[in-house]
Structure 1
Amino acid sequence: MRHGGPQVEAKPKDFKGSIKRLFNYMAVRKWLMLGAFILSAIATVMQIFTPRILGSATTVIFDGFSEGMVGGRYPIDFAAIRKILISVAILYVANAVFRYVAQLTLVRVVQSTVFDLRQDFKAKMSRVPVEYYDTNSNGDIMSRAINDVDNIARQMVQTINQAIMSVVQFFGILIMMFSISWKLSIVALLTVPLSAFIISRIAPTSRKLFKKQQTELGHLNSHIEETFAGHTEIVSFNREEHVIEEFGFQNEKLFGIAWKAQFLSGILMPLMNMVKNLGYVIVAVMGGIDVSTGALALGEVQAFLTYTNQFSEPMKQLTNIMNTIQSIVASTERIFEVLDEAEMLDVSTDQPAIETTDKFTFENVRFGYAGQEDLMTDFNLSVKPGQMVAIVGPTGAGKSTIINLLERFYDVRGGSIKLEGEDIRNIDRDDLRRRFAMVLQDTWLFNGTIFDNIKYGAHEEVSDEDVYRASKMAHADEFIRTLPEGYNTILNEDASNISQGQRQLLTIARAFITDPEILILDEATSSVDTRTEVLIQRAMRRLLEGRTSFVVAHRLSTIRDADNIIVMNKGDIIETGTHDELMALGEFYAGLYNSQFTEAS
């Protein structure tokens, strides 16, 4: 698993495997693909025949001049030329029609393939464990989902089309050249090994550089996304210049890699042109000698020179295709890296359900995050139905870890967590999470109306009155109705057009509307003013009646009424009891509680 952002894997990339997997996506439309290939090949064959036919027109004209003037004019067969020109016109029109239909078909195939890739990518992101999001930057994930997929869509159609044309052109022109003169053909073919040598020396390096370019682009996207999201904090701490310097560093790295990749891909064309021109000159000289000796007709030499010029085109196109394929494969590999990520495992246990009066039972729970030592080694806890359990402790004590385990964002390494006597690993994740509602310290609201944001939490269809009732319980209805559009107010991308406290109230209302069996509050009132906090606490008491709840809090004044307070440190429970019991104990919890009021004063 990668940590801390996008990185280049050390193992060599499977070029052929990635191409094969990409074409497997296209294979579901194999008949459309085959039709496009056939149409494109026919169009290319028509294009190949036109120089030979036009050459015959030149021969007709040359023969007429060679016979000398008869009756004051050269005996040129204009009827034959007319037929030749009509034939060429028909070939050009047919070529355009076939190529248009082939291109249209290929666009349909490629865009459908990219559609499937996006669908699979999005579906995969819902199946990877939460750990993947914790260890990979959002910028890199977005770069793969947008930039890499778009890169495939943008270049795939032209690449396939050029590949078909180039292969058919190469062999078709070769056949036509040999049908005119085998000696001139051998001379023209002498340039092929030199061209192949140039390609073999440059293409592999170019592919590696294109891969690095896409990776560095992911780094830069990650940095930009992070700085835009934290712009207020950056300005507050006067870190603008530092951010600009860091951006400059990342931009410079991308520039260096992109410059090398583009330079190598760009230098191929001049080199290929040089090789082509050398071959063209030699063929022109030898062809002129053959015409002067009568070994070849002028029209045939003209056609051969046209073929010689065109013969380099498939080579140049294949060179360009190789460079484009490097970029496509680099993007494809980055997408398949995500599609190959390990998914959340539905690992059930052989532990049968037991009869118990507990709502939740933590038995000898052992857990640690990937690549880290166990945070919890022997965690035990019993929670009765309807209890409000407060979880307190210093940063890193394991408070939020309990929430992650309850909702199965992570599974335990040892021991078990039981819900009403049944191991939660034996319960489907979706079914388990339907029984929870959660309000986090970091509010999440999407771009849409306030009404839709509140309704988002409902597990089933709810009425408008249910939305209004939930808002009133969360004391959000009053401020919502003061807005110009009320419940139809559109929240922007990060909901910055309302205050942080108001955003928190909306997330609480969203939890209310679910009518949850179990409620999780993770620093739910940390961003709310004191007056609003009191109102929320009153509403919470009504909401919590008959429900089991877990409350994570640093502000200990908010959990004085908890039925059970769990004090954690370094992943283990060190104290438990009510507020009064723990204060009377006068140890860790009492120290935390008193220190908050000392700091406040």
Structure 2
Amino acid sequence: MTDPKHESLELYLRLLQYVRPYWRMFAGAMLAMAVMAAAEPAVPALFKPLLDGSFVRKDPDFIRIIPILMVGLFFIRGLADFASTYAMNWVGSRLVMDLRTAMFNKLIAMPTQYYDNSSTGTLIAHVVFNVTQVTQSATSAVTLLVRDSLTIIGLLSWLLWLNWQLTLIIIAIAPVAIVTIRQVSRRLRSINRQAQQNLGEITHVVEESVGAHKVVKIFGGQEYEARRFTSAVNNARRYTMKGVTAAAANGPVVQLIAAFGVAIVVYIATQQALRGQLTVGGFVSYMIAMLMVFGPVKRLTGINEQLQRGLAAAEVVFEVIDSVPEIDTGTQTIARACGELRFENLSLHYTDKPNPALNNISLDIQPGETIALVGASGSGKTSLVNLIPRFYTPSSGRILLDNHDITDIRLDSLRANIAMVSQDVILFNDTLAANIAYGAQAGASEADIIRAAEAAHAMEFIREQPQGLQTMVGENGVKLSGGQRQRIAIARALLKNAPVLILDEATSALDTESERHVQAALETLMQGRTTLVIAHRLSTIENADRIVVMQQGHIIEIGKHAELIQKNGTYAHLHRLQFHE
């Protein structure tokens, strides 16, 4: 089992690596804290000459100098306090920005399987919420740790100078307090780790309920979703109270231990004062310094809660950052491909499924050929096309593009030659123009964007928009109809002008009028490209060069529409089911 203390140290040292680029500002904050800490014992130190020199000896020089020194002391202390607070928060904001950037860059580089196995809400919570907790470790906790530790050292040094015998009693209490704090640390780390996971659960429930609000309303799911959310937030409340209980008990216990020692010190100091071994100024100075130690000690006992919350968040953050990104084994860069595809003995087995998704698939596709993939749901059609852009890695066999094994081609080069239009169109909350000229095509001219939109039969509704191509589409294109979203996706594929095209049920779930426009746009898009079409509506693929019929991961029939109808096999059966009338 990993030593929690060693694990915490490793996490903290790793966090400090992200602080390293800002070491000058960090060092400035440390220097300001040192000045502030040095000013703390100066306060009780001034009381000794103030009382002994002014009130006892009535020295006029002391009466004039001490007030000036006190004003100067608090001015320096306030200036150092401002500098340290500003500098540490500046470093903290930079740290959050850098960690968020590192997490986001890693997330967009993750393989498809990672998203299949992860909750979107949890990932959002990691990037948006959990990372802010890290600053509790890297900045806020450091501020308290350095400033208060130096303050305690300074005050104890002054106490030792005044009366070392009494001060040793205070120091002897420290080991008991340290043991108490260590026991609470383990409890707090465990609680905060569970709280971080629960935060992702809350985000997940909210994201699902908001995203599916129409389904929730039409099927009366409000009560069910409310129960899910109540359960999640109640768990958050329970974790919060567990943490509060542990942290709240920590402070009073440590302070009670300290109170026994202080009581002894006060008694002995009083006796020494009565015997003349302590002057009035020395006694008051000692008592003020001893009481001033309580504030930093109390804050340091509470720092553990912040530290453990931050380290628990750091575990989650670094878990994301350390995730293995999408592996690119390719070394070759290809120009525009001709579009010849060859599947050789291809098999695919998902780790969480008992049966293979694809089993020994072999298929040759010529440049510019249109291949339609048909079959019942779960027959392997989508799995097959998802292997072409290497969203998944085949369990065995290989795919060749223009006689190049696609695993030897760099991912960016391979995917530059592929365009995809699916049933679930993804649009970004941006302008129509930005959604058409997305990613690598972002620098396209307006004329090119318009040509692509014209070819996709999209300009007819774009011209009707109040701001034309600059119209915002809303979250995932909510301001557009289904057919309009599909045509924007087709325009995006047209602008990319890739030689290989994948159409995954691009016309399903559309009304007749929308389908007519989309189908016309698709016909334009497919010209001169190697096209793989997945379609349940068989009327849309009757003109395909070849139709490939799949069943349970196997290819069972290949041929033209007329040939397969005449063969009277599975395709003919599916066709009759759709057109029996």
Contact 2:358 2:384 in 1 (8 A): no
Contact 1:276 1:309 in 2 (8 A): no
SS in 2 for 1:344: coil
Q: For residues 171-227 of structure 1, what are the alpha-carbon distances to aligned partners after superposition, in whole Å with 9 as ceiling and x for unaligned?
A: 222211111112221232343233223212222101110111011111111111111
Structure 1 position 499, deviation (Å):
1.9
- Report the Cα distance in structure 2 between the residues aligned to 1:42 and 1:349, rounded to whole angstroms: 56
Partner amino acid, structure 2, of 1:367: L
SS in 1 for 2:441: coil
SS in 2 for 1:14: helix
Which residue in 2 is equivalent to 1:545?
527
Contact 1:471 1:509 in 2 (8 A): yes
Contact 1:363 1:417 in 2 (8 A): yes
SS in 1 for 2:300: helix
For residues 124-143 of structure 1, what are the structure 2 equivalents within 5 Å? 124-143=106-125
Partner amino acid, structure 2, of 1:16: L
Contact 2:420 2:501 in 1 (8 A): yes
Q: Which moved more, 1:472-481 or 1:17-26?
A: 472-481
Aligned residue among 6, 9, 28 for 1:16: 9
Contact 2:373 2:548 in 1 (8 A): yes
Query: Is it true that 1:25 corresponds to 2:25 in the alignment?
Result: no
Q: For residues 332-367 of structure 1, what are the alpha-carbon distances to aligned partners after superposition, in whole Å with 9 as ceiling and x for unaligned?
A: 1101101111122222599xx9xx998000011122
Which residue in 2 is equivalent to 1:512?
494
Q: Which moved more, 1:124-133 or 1:92-101?
A: 92-101
Which residue in 2 is equivalent to 1:6?
none
Structure 1 position 371, deviation (Å):
4.2
Which residue in 2 is equivalent to 1:362?
343
SS in 1 for 2:496: coil
Structure 1 position 596, deviation (Å):
2.4
C-alpha change, 1:251 and 1:405, in structure 2 (3 Å) is same
SS in 2 for 1:380: strand
Partner amino acid, structure 1, of 2:17: N
Which residue in 1 is equivalent to 2:514?
532
- Report the Cα distance in structure 1 between the residues aligned to 2:3 and 2:568, rounded to whole angstroms: 57
Which residue in 1 is equivalent to 2:466?
484
Contact 1:445 1:494 in 2 (8 A): yes
Partner amino acid, structure 2, of 1:33: F
Query: Is it true that 1:430 corresponds to 2:412 in the alignment?
Result: yes
C-alpha change, 1:290 and 1:593, in structure 2 (3 Å) is same
Which residue in 1 is equivalent to 2:31?
38
Partner amino acid, structure 2, of 1:24: Q
C-alpha change, 1:459 and 1:244, in structure 2 (3 Å) is same
Which residue in 1 is equivalent to 2:542?
560
Aligned residue among 420, 423, 441 for 1:459: 441
Partner amino acid, structure 2, of 1:206: L
Aligned residue among 268, 281, 288 for 1:286: 268
Structure 1, unaligned stretches of length 5 or more?
1-8, 65-75
- Report the Cα distance in structure 2 between the residues aligned to 1:55 and 1:494, rounded to whole angstroms: 71
SS in 1 for 2:372: strand
For residues 111-122 of structure 1, what are the structure 2 equivalents within 5 Å? 111-122=93-104
For residues 396-411 of structure 1, what are the structure 2 equivalents within 5 Å? 396-411=378-393
TM norm structure 2 = 0.94
Structure 1 position 229, deviation (Å):
0.6
Structure 1 position 44, deviation (Å):
0.6
Aligned residue among 311, 317, 329 for 1:347: 329
Aligned residue among 100, 105, 109 for 1:123: 105
Which residue in 2 is equivalent to 1:73?
none
Contact 1:457 1:514 in 2 (8 A): no
Contact 1:504 1:527 in 2 (8 A): no
C-alpha change, 1:203 and 1:10, in structure 2 (3 Å) is closer
TM norm structure 1 = 0.91
Partner amino acid, structure 2, of 1:253: N
- Report the Cα distance in structure 1 between the residues aligned to 2:288 and 2:141, rounded to whole angstroms: 24
C-alpha change, 1:334 and 1:423, in structure 2 (3 Å) is same
Partner amino acid, structure 1, of 2:516: V
Contact 2:136 2:307 in 1 (8 A): no
Which residue in 2 is equivalent to 1:206?
188
Contact 1:54 1:85 in 2 (8 A): no
- Report the Cα distance in structure 2 between the residues aligned to 1:186 and 1:295, rounded to whole angstroms: 17
Q: For residues 128-171 of structure 1, what are the alpha-carbon distances to aligned partners after superposition, in whole Å with 9 as ceiling and x for unaligned?
A: 11111111011010010010122224664322111111221222
Contact 2:358 2:383 in 1 (8 A): no
Query: Is it true that 1:309 corresponds to 2:298 in the alignment?
Result: no
SS in 1 for 2:476: coil
C-alpha change, 1:197 and 1:357, in structure 2 (3 Å) is closer
Partner amino acid, structure 2, of 1:27: R
Which residue in 1 is equivalent to 2:239?
257
- Report the Cα distance in structure 1 between the residues aligned to 2:449 and 2:240, rounded to whole angstroms: 52
Contact 2:565 2:572 in 1 (8 A): yes
C-alpha change, 1:37 and 1:425, in structure 2 (3 Å) is same
**What is the CA RMSD across the aligned residues, in angstroms?**
2.4
Which residue in 2 is equivalent to 1:418?
400
Query: Is it true that 1:166 corresponds to 2:166 in the alignment?
Result: no
